[in-house]
Chains A and B, each alone.
Chain A
């Protein structure tokens, strides 16, 4: 049986500062080596000062993943020499001498399967190595320490996955979950990194590292299963090793380094005294942390009567669900859910689009109410929404400037219908025999009134007119 376990490194991108100093946690916009200080550079004499908010964020994630949180957490040093590591040790957490990491023994369900979370540990990201060309052939290696000290959590699962598809589903759920919690933006470059370990029946465990995007892990795992199976079929022993994902060639390559033989000499980091996690903190976090995706979904279906599929889309995307929560009233939930999940599509898919959006919750609420009260049609509503997205003008202004108001006086509607009857004589005669053609005429009228006419009223009048001819 194939067994897969994961190690996910998730930066806490929603924090202001690094884990042990006041440099920015968001290092991405800086020139190389300009987001650094004596602490994150590990200069002689500097000491780490723990960012207390990181503990809260990591605790929130631990709660959301059903983990236990120990009464005291502590930090350890993981000792190894590497140029991206300014102190030549990493401050991390370690549970070999009893649970002291922020979370342990958690569980999350994916499609009726339990995936156990072994532990969640808070740690600092190292700097970044920049090669000229590939890491194997590079002549020079540059180091950028802007990232050094960035707070991240490592989430370690038990080897509970049976196939790469489960891994993909899990990672999608996890990415949505960290985003929904407001601890991280998993779609930022390098913010959500996944290592895997995989073994097939009777085979040794192989680690896969260096998977750039978390979507590539599925490909890497598929490759590994095929590779390991073909070795096994030929009776060749699968060596326990670390392999790197080669993104260009889409294969895994045996890593030259002897990482598995390394002895990290973990021992307590005494510069950071143990932190007592009060029960009141946990209770408070539970009360104040964002509602879970699962609970939102249930609420949308059961309380608001939103169709399951719509509820799923709405709840799993934090941007959508925040917009929904902020805009709906008791009466317009379904209409707003509809507007967000169908009419907003294509306009708020990417981060950039979302940032430029001029839409406010009030816009959405007004729009839904106008549709529900028949002030404008759904078709007009869609046009109004697009205008609002661009301009941010109030709905009333948009309706009048685009002349989207309902054609509620019957005489102008009758006039439009008369014109269509004159223009479409062939269709009119056909419609007398074939009722399906009536829809064609309704469409023509709608176009003439720029979508402002009430479709059912239009249909009624056309029917009467046909009968009377």
Chain B
């Protein structure tokens, strides 16, 4: 039996009785046990996983109705609430926090008999692009453990890539699903804003972020998307998607499709290996019958500045609730007056979170709101309208997911601006709300490179079809660890 198995293979084996959930979970836990000391993909592991697998096996044997996941192990980024398991956001602030409820995505997965195998590591409160800002220590790239796995959903990317689970849920605020997908050589989808309920996702930048699936194949991502997408009465921002079956017609190909290559994202500042891999992907699409034309989204140049302004503004408000009064870490109020207590307990927030709290508070302050927040909103509208215009001309947009290859842990941590600039190719999808996907495409110097596709809002089906067509042309080596 191999852990490197697709969802359709897994469910078929379970149906046929060739494999039990318990066996698979046990083997997954063994794998986790073997690789975790080198990778640190998880903050916590589900201690009841085996028992839960046994329950599901019982149902299968008794020929009772079984959910579509047949007890497959799925990891959940640790900023998504799970009832009865800690949800730490990789922060000291929530090191002992156990949510009294499941996020909508988690309850949907559970009702389809998925097993939450563990909670995946992340940058504290999802703020970062390398997973180095976790209070519990960084995750490591399974392709080379000296290297960062991307972030902020680094633990999700690592766990899927290193066969510690079949799929994972991350959250993508500025590229946080696609970055680790690209760096760890897995598929990562940032869906249309409002397609997936955010209820239970601990908010960082609530107008920008979405929960997204990571898996080893586009087919598997489509399978997870089917389960978690759709309107939710607990989230006013969710939209009606008409509940299409994303796994259906994945093989239609790209013949006749028009793909716009975003000029600003393939030229200057992009690593040579990434450039040549992108060119290769373009010619692959052409061979498959698509027409590729260059397209300019020049507002993307301001996207990073606008994003860090807006996301930090929202974060400064969203994270204000962490005052350690109703829940939090062990710290006595004794001897503190209210304000000094608040500032004392909040000083345990890490450097990147603190930086964004300060930045966000500043840009919302009286006298600066128009200069920064409103101006950033204008950039956001401009990006939206340029993308709208582009999608009148083309069906999809293409760019490398990350402008550079994975780099060494610690290499850029002292230069926050350099880390911010890693998001240059991913942020436009978040600011405009459109879906985007990263597909593993090649390996250079033993390090993965991902290709990113964008589609118009709610065009996930088309996006997945094209990503699937591209992935089918690749033949990448297995993870070395």
Interface residues of A (CB under 8 A from B): 38, 41-50, 77, 79, 81, 83, 86-89, 263, 265-267, 270-273
Contact = CB atoms under 8 A, between A and B. Distances in A.
Interface string B118-149: 00000000000000000000000000000000
Interface string B376-396: 000000000000000000000
Contacts of B325: 83
A43 B327 contact: yes
Contact of A45 (B81, B314, B364): B81
Contacts of B198: 47
A270 B206 contact: yes
Given A83-B338, A87-B320, A265-B364, A46 B207 contact: no
Given A43-B99, A79-B317, A50 B236 contact: yes
B308 interface: no
B94 interface: yes
> Chain B contact residues: over half helix, strand or loop, or mixed?
loop
A213 B99 CA distance: 39
B96 to A, nearest CB: 12
B236 A272 contact: yes
Contact of A88 (B236, B321, B327): B321
Interface in B305-343: 313-314, 316-317, 320-321, 323, 325-327, 338-339, 342
B94 A77 contact: no
Contacts of B426: none
Given A265-B361, A267-B317, A273 B237 contact: yes
A452 B51 CA distance: 85
Contact of B199 (A46, A77, A83, A88): A46
Contacts of A88: 320-321, 323
Interface string B39-83: 000000000000000000000000000000000000000001100
B162 interface: no
A89 B321 CA distance: 8
Nearest to B194: A273
Given A45-B103, A45-B199, A267-B364, A79 B237 contact: no
Nearest to A89: B317
Contacts of B246: none
Contacts of B89: 44
B5 to A, nearest CB: 31
Contacts of B314: 267, 270
A44 B233 contact: no
B320 A81 contact: yes
B240 interface: no
Given A47-B234, A48-B236, A49-B236, A38 B101 contact: yes
A133 to B, nearest CB: 17
B236 A38 contact: no
Nearest to B374: A97
B200 A45 contact: yes
A49 B235 CA distance: 7
Contacts of B317: 77, 79, 89, 265, 267
A273 B207 CA distance: 10
Contacts of B373: 267
A42 B321 contact: yes
Contacts of B202: 44-45
B237 A45 contact: no
A412 B445 CA distance: 122
Interface string B100-111: 110100000000
Contacts of A266: 364
Contacts of B361: 265
Interface residues on B, range: 35 or more
B365 interface: yes
B420 interface: no
Contacts, number: 92
Query: A-B pairs with the 5 shortest C-beta distances?
Result: A270-B207, A88-B320, A265-B364, A45-B200, A44-B202
A267 B100 contact: no
Contacts of A89: 317, 320
Q: Which of A42, A48, A49, A272 is the most central at the interface, judged by chain B CB atoms within 10 Å of its CB?
A: A49
Contacts of A267: 313-314, 317, 364, 369, 373
A404 B338 CA distance: 70
Contacts of B338: 81, 83
Nearest to B94: A44
B204 to A, nearest CB: 11
Contact of B100 (A43, A77, A273): A43
B366 interface: yes
A88 B346 CA distance: 13
Contacts of A273: 236-237
17 contacts: A42-B321, A44-B203, A45-B80, A45-B200, A47-B203, A47-B234, A79-B317, A79-B320, A81-B320, A81-B342, A263-B366, A265-B316, A265-B361, A267-B314, A267-B364, A270-B207, A273-B236
Given A267-B373, A271-B235, 11 more contacts: A43-B100, A44-B99, A45-B80, A47-B236, A79-B316, A81-B338, A81-B339, A263-B365, A265-B316, A267-B364, A273-B237
Nearest to A77: B317
Contacts of A43: 99-100, 327
A405 B314 CA distance: 76
A381 B100 CA distance: 61
Contact of B321 (A47, A50, A86): A86
Contacts of B237: 47, 270-271, 273
Q: Which of A48, A267, A271 is the most central at the interface, judged by chain B CB atoms within 10 Å of its CB?
A: A267
B424 interface: no
A390 B135 CA distance: 70
A392 to B, nearest CB: 43
Nearest to A271: B206
Nearest to B201: A45
A179 B342 CA distance: 41
B236 A271 contact: yes
B97 interface: yes
B469 to A, nearest CB: 35
A413 B416 CA distance: 105
Contacts of B100: 38, 43
A86 B198 CA distance: 20
B87 interface: yes
A135 to B, nearest CB: 12
A388 B31 CA distance: 81
Interface string B205-219: 011000000000000
B364 A44 contact: no
A263 B87 CA distance: 32
A372 B364 CA distance: 71
Contacts of A263: 365-366
B339 A44 contact: no
Contacts of B366: 263, 265
Contact of A87 (B87, B316, B321, B365): B321
A81 B323 CA distance: 9
A106 to B, nearest CB: 27
A86 B94 contact: no
A1 B289 CA distance: 81
A311 B87 CA distance: 63
B131 to A, nearest CB: 20
A272 B198 CA distance: 13
A67 to B, nearest CB: 25
A38 B327 CA distance: 12
Contacts of B365: 263, 265
A44 B320 contact: no
Contacts of A47: 198-199, 203, 234-237
A43 B234 CA distance: 14
A383 B62 CA distance: 76
A86 B313 contact: no
Nearest to A263: B366
A77 B316 CA distance: 11
A188 to B, nearest CB: 27
Contacts of A77: 317
Contact of B364 (A79, A87, A272): A79
Contacts of B103: 45
Q: Which of B321, B326, B327, B338 is the most central at the interface, judged by chain A CB atoms within 10 Å of its CB?
A: B321
